[in-house]
Chain A
């Protein structure tokens, strides 16, 4: 196991020395042409869904996103963390509800290549283009992305999902009832370079103000309210940690 990890490190070196930022296409990832932002994100993600429940879809989306190249960086205290962080990359997608009463995931957008920026960001278009359905017929449920480790949601994560709530609504009507729109940041607690496990995620739900932390333990999921976002008006808010 240790040798396998070593060879993965060497593979990382090879990637870096052959142009640093690989321009190789990543399955399931789409990017704008010549740096232009995407106007919409295509869907669905091939071989992903559809799912009957959003919980099942979330559980499938987490390892898929964390398994993309450099989606995690391991613990900050570990050897190679700084390098792995510099190589790390953020991916983002929509989880959406279709007229066929199923949950699907869009393709992934990806942040800039690692040697160009200190930012670990991802530009997600506000709409999904699923050619099977008419524009405007989709329900927008979750904004999904990864954080390199056990990192809380940022101010811009909060502000982005609130902007999406203003555009799409704070809830989505589904067969199982109303579902509140939210943003999710998946993370792995593992330092594994290959297929890091999905260990949890952070979630903010604008309709309730809840900031949640989720952890997976022996295939069971547990949640904890870690704070609330209190909006003072349409632009000002405070985060109250619990």
Chain B
């Protein structure tokens, strides 16, 4: 029974994933490849460049591969958040690998924020192979060898939060240590 159910499901999946399958290219999954931090450095934006922006063909091909794999086009009724033009692309070259990160550009779709888990990362070789693809929300947790111990606690409680000692929070744009919510009851 299970064998037939799986077979039937597989056949049905072909019909249900037509848009994705049609655009699929071989994707390897080399877990030894580690992605760089795409948000550690301020990106150089093409729009900001006063000089011409030169891009190697292999980088352009990598961008195209990643974009077509993650956001296959060809349908005329694509929602705004599924169009390649509604996204931003970050590229880092390191040790012969072209790393690409794709994120929604919410303003192009009239939204304030990108959706949770709406991006993807690709590692692509200079000869045009997708060596690794990690979709947001799909990166499996791998415990380090010297992973810390589990300690029993009530769910959701921080091990170190101390309201009397809030550190400066740079993401608030100043030395603001996080003023308690003014809207609290």
**Interface size range of chain B in the complex:** 35 or more
Distance, CA A203 to CA B158, complexed state (A): 9
Instruction: Bits for B4-26, please: 1 = Cβ < 8 Å to A, else 0.
Output: 01101110110111111000000
Contact yes or no, B183 A79, CB < 8 A: no
Shortest CB distance A7–B (Å): 8
**Interface size range of chain A in the complex:** 35 or more
Tell me the total A-B contact number using a CB cutoff of 8 A: 296
Q: Which of B18, B39, B70, B143 has the most CB of A within 10 A?
A: B39
Contact yes or no, A154 B137, CB < 8 A: yes
Name the prevailing secondary structure of the A interface residues.
mixed
Residues of A near B172 (CB, < 8 A) are 165-166, 170, 234
Contact (A126, B39) CB under 8 Å given A117-B82, A172-B180, A237-B171: no
Binds A, one of B52-60, B92-100, B110-118, B123-131: B110-118
Shortest CB distance A4–B (Å): 11
Instruction: Bits for A172-206, please: 1 = Cβ < 8 Å to B, else 0.
Output: 11100110101011000000000000000111011
Q: Which of B6, B113, B156, B184 has the most CB of A within 10 A?
A: B156
Beyond the given pairs A150-B140, A165-B171, A221-B155, 7 more chain A to chain B contacts, judged by CB atoms under 8 angstroms and listed by A's residue number, are A13-B9, A86-B20, A139-B181, A139-B184, A154-B117, A223-B153, A236-B41
Q: Which residues does B use to contact A, with CB under 8 Å?
A: 1-2, 5-6, 8-10, 12-13, 15-20, 37-42, 69-72, 79, 81-82, 101, 103, 110-120, 135-141, 143-144, 147-161, 163, 166, 169-173, 178-185
